Amino acid sequence: LAFLRSESARGNAGPRSVRRYEEMWLPLAADAAGGGGEEAAMLVPPPDVHLVWLCHCFHHESYVAYCASRFGRLIDRPSILDAENEEHAADCCRDIWAARYPLEPFDLDSSEFDGNNSNGIENDSANSEIFMMVQTYAGLADHFASPFVSEGVYHVAARRRYTCFLDLIRKGVCTTREDTRLVPSLDILLMWLAHQSFPASYATDMTLMSIKDSVMKMVVSYGEVASEETVERTRILWEEAYDEPYDLSGSEVDAAAVGTAREAFHWQAAASEEDTNRLYKGLQPRFLMEV
């Protein structure tokens, strides 16, 4: 979410970024992968390319098929969860990029985004399907503007509910109609997208739970409009399975349902990653809205 909110990621991915992703980054990542290609290269691509990569991973089945057709194997994203390590990985990637593509800049400045205009995508050589994926997730970070989304306690609760949601899918494969769809709440959606952003781990986990071919069929994806009947059916199945309400504060199904309250409390500003209390972890704040 911090990356999606950053200035480097907002609105900077267009046809040129998609071409850089397909023609430059993925071949580089495939060549740099360790363990015979099974381990992700500890490199962080340019921000515009990174955004395209992330959005492509959110469409797991499409990403897996794409990698298999081009490279014969899955290209995984590295787990770099520390700011210093991430900066080091970006610097390493910048050096490798410069040596491999001396005529193509690593970071695109404002004067170099001309090729990223989306108006002429029909006549561009960039992959229009991948470009549309990027467009779909343009407003994703705004769905998680509440300040408590960055709190560890929220992640712990969301992880538990996400695990239950996956188990509900597994049960549904055996016990419900084939046309049953499930709508993830905001906290479950966040965990699902985070899980998908590491495609190798996600593929392994889905296979172990025996729901690899069922998730995309049963779950309503981000950006897809769900009917009220589908939402209500999800609530009923959840409450029957776990004897607890599906809708909780901070775990709503519809982000728009709490939009008015967020505007009244100015939560957008409170959720800023530039908040001093978030830069210095010893000063974790307590928000009035949590009480």
268 close to 145: Cβ distance less than 8 angstroms: yes
pLDDT at 120: 47
- How do the pLDDT tens digits run along the chain, 291 residues long? 888 888 777 766 788 889 999 999 999 999 988 656 567 889 999 999 999 999 999 999 999 999 999 988 899 999 888 888 889 999 999 999 999 999 999 988 755 555 555 544 454 555 788 989 888 888 888 888 777 888 888 899 999 999 999 999 888 765 656 678 899 999 999 999 999 999 999 999 999 988 888 888 889 888 888 888 999 999 999 999 999 999 887 777 866 665 555 555 555 555 555 555 555 555 555 555 555
* C-alpha span between 146 and 282 (Å, rounded): 21
Q: Are 206 and 42 in contact (CB under 8 A)?
A: no
Q: Return d(Cα 12, Cα 203) in angstroms, integer.
A: 29
**Euclidean distance between CA atoms 105 and 135, whole angstroms:** 23
- pLDDT value for 290: 53
Q: What is the pLDDT of residue 127?
A: 75
C-alpha atoms less than 13 angstroms from C-alpha of 140 in its C-beta half-sphere: 28
Question: Measured in Å, how far apart are the chain's first and last C-alpha atoms?
Answer: 24
pLDDT tens readout for residues 117-168: 554 445 455 578 898 988 888 888 888 877 788 888 889 999 999 999 999 9
| pLDDT of the residue at 278 | 54
12: exposed, middle or buried (Cβ count in 10 Å: 0-12, 13-18, 19+): buried
Phi (first) and psi of residue 34, to 5 degrees = -95, 180
